[in-house]
């Protein structure tokens, strides 16, 4: 973030404001961790702050300190709109285009608040007054840590904030193994541990709360896996019926796509999951090396993300989606070999 913006934000936050903090739709650990850490920080500074999430998130995030205070736009619309309309500062975290907050975008885009974006995804849209965008960052949580340091308040990081920030860095880096994990990321993590984040408790709370049906759903997904050797690609499908059979809960399929990528020689892994509520297929894409799933998702499946992790959607049937996917792949044969 540049000096001029930091100075301006410092001045902006010197007086009390009505602040709304927004994560993306279907928020993950980085989105919830970063918004909660920022929320604690602003509240401790005497600001009126509230987190408004577009919708609910997995149960394995519901231990995070302050989580029960989050307002959900889809089920608490009136209350959420009241906060957004009254806001004079809006932080948007872990996304960079208002299309990522779904139906909430129409209310948010009407606001004349000062927008501050903190995000690490590619190709940020230009809706914010202050944009802190850095695609080299491991996570939005690492950026919120930096943001607090820019404001010279590192000493104000509480154990609650440290735990929230640790969680998002841990999950977005695949437990510190993806290439965006730098030595600086590890230094930030070390500082967060010194400030009270309990690494093994957090790991346990997020990763070791599986239900038997979730593991059975994983078994089903792995059985459905198809390897396309000519393209060093693997894809997995999960139908509505299969999700229902294994008592699907929000967040159950998180990480499934990575199993495909663990196969020797595989450069591109995809999972296609039928949405239970609406008639579309949600896709998660992962890659190794230079193959950009961000570009792939943007060009063909109305999505985006990072070079090695992106998402998108398809409004076709599962059969047609897979057919389209395979057809598109032919144009990437050289890149994938
Ligand atoms: P996931 O596959 O875990 O849902 O998402 C992988 C990455 O891509 C995340 O950083 C997520 O924010 C981003 N992403 C997922 N779905 C979409 C989408 O539909 N559009 C865009 N622009 N990004 C997405
Ligand atoms: Mn993130």
223 pLDDT band (50/70/90 cuts)? very high
- Rounded to the nearest whole angstrom, what is the distance from the C-alpha of residue 294 to the centroid of ligand 2? 14
What is the predicted pLDDT for the residue at 73?
Answer: 98
Tell which one of 310, 312, 313 to mutate to probe ligand 1, the residue whose CB is within 8 A of the most ligand atoms: 310
272 pLDDT band (50/70/90 cuts)? very high
Could you tell me the pTM of the whole model?
0.95
Least confident of 74-78, 177-181, 239-243, 324-328: 177-181
Which domains does the chain possess?
Answer: 3-207 (3.90.1640.10), 212-336 (3.10.310.30)
- Rounded to the nearest whole angstrom, what is the distance from the C-alpha of residue 5 to the centroid of ligand 2? 22
Residue 219: burial class (beta carbons within 10 Å; 0-12, 13-18, 19+): exposed
Nearest CA to ligand 1 atom 24: 311
Q: In degrees rounded to 5, what are phi and psi of residue 70?
A: -70, 130
| Cα distance between residue 175 and residue 135, in whole Å | 19
Work out the average pLDDT over 139-159: 98
- Rounded to the nearest whole angstrom, what is the distance from the C-alpha of residue 229 to the centroid of ligand 2? 30
Sorted by sequence, the CB contacts under 8 Å of residue 6 that are 6+ apart come out as: 150, 151
What is the predicted pLDDT for the residue at 241?
Answer: 98
7 pLDDT band (50/70/90 cuts)? very high
Tell which one of 169, 295, 304 to mutate to probe ligand 1, the residue whose CB is within 8 A of the most ligand atoms: 304
Counting atoms of ligand 1 from 1, which one is nearest the CA of 257?
2
Nearest CA to ligand 1 atom 18: 303
* Residue range 87-100, pLDDT digits in tens: 999 999 999 999 99
Counting atoms of ligand 1 from 1, which one is nearest the CA of 26?
4
């Amino acid at each position: 973030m540049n000096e001029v913006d930091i100075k301006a934000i410092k001045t902006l936050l010197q007086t009390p404001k009505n602040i709304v903090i927004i994560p993306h739709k279907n928020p993950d650990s980085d989105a919830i961790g970063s918004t909660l850490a920022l929320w604690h920080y602003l509240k401790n500074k005497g600001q009126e702050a509230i987190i408004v999430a577009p919708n609910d998130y997995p149960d394995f995030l519901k231990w995070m300190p302050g989580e029960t205070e989050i307002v959900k736009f889809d089920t608490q619309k009136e209350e959420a709109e009241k906060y957004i309309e009254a806001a004079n500062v809006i932080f948007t975290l872990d996304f960079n285009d208002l299309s990522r907050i779904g139906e909430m975008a129409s209310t948010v885009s009407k606001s004349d608040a000062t927008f501050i974006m903190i995000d690490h995804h590619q190709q940020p849209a230009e809706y914010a007054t202050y944009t802190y965008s850095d695609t080299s960052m491991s996570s939005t949580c690492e950026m919120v840590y930096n943001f607090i340091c820019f404001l010279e308040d590192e000493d104000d990081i509480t154990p609650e904030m440290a735990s929230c920030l640790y969680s998002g860095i841990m999950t977005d880096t695949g437990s510190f193994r993806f290439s965006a994990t730098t030595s600086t990321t590890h230094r930030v993590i070390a500082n967060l541990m010194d400030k009270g984040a309990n690494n093994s408790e957090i790991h346990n709370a997020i990763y070791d709360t599986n239900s038997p049906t979730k593991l059975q759903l994983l078994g089903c997904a792995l059985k459905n896996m198809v390897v396309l050797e000519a393209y060093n690609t693997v894809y997995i499908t999960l139908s509505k019926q299969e999700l229902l059979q294994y008592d699907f809960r929000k967040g159950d399929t998180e990480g499934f796509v990575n199993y495909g990528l663990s196969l020797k020689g595989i450069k591109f892994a995809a999972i296609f999951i039928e949405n239970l509520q609406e008639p579309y297929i949600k896709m998660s894409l992962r890659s190794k090396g230079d193959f950009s799933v961000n570009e792939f998702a943007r060009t063909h499946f109305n999505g985006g993300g990072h070079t090695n992790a992106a998402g998108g959607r398809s409004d076709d049937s599962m059969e047609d989606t897979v057919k389209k996917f395979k057809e598109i792949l032919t144009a990437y044969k050289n890149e994938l070999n």
